[in-house]
């Protein structure tokens, strides 16, 4: 997979909110984001995000990087995914890739959302359902 090429594809956000917040409400959004990035809510949020990706492994082979994409490991099971998400806070990042069809997902530890890069409609539709199953939303950026 050419990660730079896939990042040119349409991208989506898996988020706690159902759509982009307007610029006029950016101060309110910042307060809400800080609220969800604090304990115990960040742990709860990371568990939801991990659950969606764990469910995704039933359909696709997943590889994860914790070193900004320098190396990827094939996911051995749900506990590994859960551990990576639990430690993705602050300056840590998590990159997830699916080889076929091409899909690349990023999570920065300082954010409440994941960014999904894919042009595959089946992956998009499945991620929308999986995000919804854990109380999150997927919307086009």
Does the model's pTM come out above 0.85? yes
Q: Which stretches within 17-68 are classed as H helix?
A: 26-37, 41-56
Q: How far is CA 103 from the centre of its chain?
A: 11
Distances (CA, A) of 5 to 2, 45, 47, 117: 5, 29, 30, 10
Name the token pair of 91. 């300056």
Per-residue tens of pLDDT for the chain, all 141 residues: 677 888 887 799 999 999 999 999 999 999 999 999 999 999 999 999 999 999 999 999 999 999 988 999 998 799 999 999 999 999 999 999 998 888 999 999 999 999 999 989 999 999 999 999 999 999 999
Q: Taking the domains of the chain in order of start, what are their residue ranges? A: 3-140
**Distance between CA atoms of residues 68 and 47, nearest Å:** 21
């Amino acid at each position: 997979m050419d990660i730079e090429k896939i990042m040119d594809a349409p991208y989506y956000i898996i988020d706690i909110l159902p759509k982009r917040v307007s610029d006029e409400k950016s101060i309110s959004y910042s307060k809400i984001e800080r609220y969800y990035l604090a304990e115990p809510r960040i742990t709860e949020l990371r568990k939801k995000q991990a659950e969606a990706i764990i469910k995704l492994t039933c359909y696709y082979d997943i590889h994860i990087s914790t070193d900004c994409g320098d190396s990827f490991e094939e996911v051995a099971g749900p506990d590994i995914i859960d551990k990576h998400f639990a430690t993705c806070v602050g300056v840590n990042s998590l990159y997830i890739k699916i080889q076929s069809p091409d899909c690349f997902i990023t999570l920065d530890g300082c954010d409440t959302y994941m960014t999904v890069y894919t042009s595959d409609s089946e992956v998009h539709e499945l991620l929308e359902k999986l995000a919804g199953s854990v109380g999150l939303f997927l919307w086009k950026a």
